[in-house]
């Protein structure tokens, strides 16, 4: 499923929903997704290290993409 980040509108490919919580971003150095349950502080550190995306949280509920808090 391809979605747009509700914060920065970057295109994101979602392979698996699991709990539906996500962070917008891929770590440049490793190609890994920003961990979906990373804290705000961890997300800010990823931004400094270098990621593609904004590292802000969102969730998908019943196919709808919504802004959420750091859960």
Give the DSSP letter string of 31-59: -PBPPTT--HHHHHHHHHH-EES---EEE
pLDDT score at 15: 86
34 closest CA partner among 59, 42, 26: 26
CB atoms within 10 A of CB 24: 24
The residues of the chain scoring below 70 in pLDDT are none
Place of tokens 């490793």: 30
Q: Which pLDDT belongs to residue 71?
A: 82
pTM of the shown model: 0.89
């Amino acid at each position: 499923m391809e979605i747009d980040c509700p914060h920065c509108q970057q295109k994101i490919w979602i392979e698996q929903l699991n709990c539906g919580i996500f962070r917008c971003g891929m770590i440049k150095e490793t190609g890994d997704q920003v961990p979906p349950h990373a804290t705000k502080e961890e997300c800010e550190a990823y931004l400094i290290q270098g990621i593609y995306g904004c590292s802000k949280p969102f969730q998908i509920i019943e196919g709808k993409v919504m802004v959420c808090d750091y859960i």
